[in-house]
Amino acid sequence: GGIITQTPKFLIGQEGQKLTLKCQQNFNHDTMYWYRQDSGKGLRLIYYSITENDLQKGDLSEGYDASREKKSSFSLTVTSAQKNEMAVFLCASSFGTNTGQLYFGEGSKLTVL
Amino acid sequence: GDSVTQTEGQVALSEEDFLTIHCNYSASGYPTLFWYVQYPGEGPQLLFRASRDKEKGSSRGFEATYDKGTTSFHLRKASVQESDSAVYYCALSANTGYQNFYFGKGTSLTVIP
């Protein structure tokens, strides 16, 4: 089996700060995703990448940047943290086939003071 | 566009009660349908999936049947246990040339012993 590792698990930032979350997978999956999880709103796609150096915007990409420099890693940057923001960011990966499942990391919880 | 609707936001049951969480979808063709479960402090994990009309997915006593006629994939369990307390997400994977997932808003299940 494989694993998806997200770092850091908890991130505290200041308003206006640029903050970066990292994700590593050892499944050898082609496609990787970043989702934002808010209570009552489900999982909303921020960015995804279908291969190394590819980036595609999801529905919630405004205010975020992403980078896929290696097949195994996918990072997400909050370009300017919003005051009192609190959310969980989930990284996931899949083979990219029609019936394939998503494998998720444990999440990174962001708190902005 | 493609979407998933989960009717129940929060469900509270006693042990041994019957569970139904409603999931309806909107998509063209034959998307793959999924149920994911998320326990506290963890990322979502696949419960099961179904890819064809009338196909039943099942795992750990949970089951759902793909119904293209009513565009539904309702989650059921005959007798819930306290350990089933978690958030449940219905999702679909659209056949758009790459694998994109659409999630419902999630249902938080609390089982009271």
Q: Give pLDDT tens digits for A7-30.
A: 999 999 999 999 999 999 999 999
Nearest chain B residue to A41, by CA: B105
Q: How far is A74 from chain B (nearest CA, A)?
A: 17
What is the full DSSP assignment across chain A? ---EEEE-SEEEE-TT--EEEEEEE-S--SEEEEEEEETTTEEEEEEEESSTT--EE-TT-TTEEEEEEETTEEEEEESSPPTT-EEEEEEEEE---TTPPPEE---EEEEE-
Cross-chain residue pair B99–A42, CB shorter than 8 Å:
no
Cross-chain residue pair B34–A97, CB shorter than 8 Å:
no
A25-78 tens-digit pLDDT: 999 999 999 999 988 788 999 999 999 999 999 989 999 999 999 999 999 999
Give yes or no for a contact between B75 and B4, defined as CB atoms under 8 angstroms apart: no
Give yes or no for a contact between A19 and A11, defined as CB atoms under 8 angstroms apart: yes
Q: What are phi and psi of A44, to 5 degrees?
A: -120, 130
Cross-chain residue pair B32–A98, CB shorter than 8 Å:
yes
Residues in chain B: 113
Q: How far is A72 from chain B (nearest CA, A)?
A: 18
Which residue numbers of B have CB closer than 8 Å to A's CBs? 9, 32, 34, 36, 41-46, 49, 51, 89, 91, 93, 95, 98-101, 103-106
Nearest chain B residue to A33, by CA: B100
Residues A89-93: what's their mean pLDDT?
96
Cross-chain residue pair B101–A102, CB shorter than 8 Å:
yes
Q: How far is A14 from chain B (nearest CA, A)?
A: 24
Q: Which residues of chain B neighbour A105 with C-beta distances below 8 Å?
A: 43
Q: Which residues of chain A neighbour B106 with C-beta distances below 8 Å?
A: 40, 42-43
B25-51 tens-digit pLDDT: 999 888 999 999 999 999 999 999 999
**In angstroms, rounded to a whole number, what is the distance separating the alpha carbons of residues A57 and A59?**
7
Burial bucket for residue A60 (CB in 10 Å: 0-12, 13-18, 19+): middle
Q: Does A63 touch chain B (CB under 8 A)?
A: no
Q: Are strands B10-14 and B107-112 parallel, antiparallel or unpaired?
A: parallel
pLDDT band at residue B97, thresholds of 50, 70 and 90? low
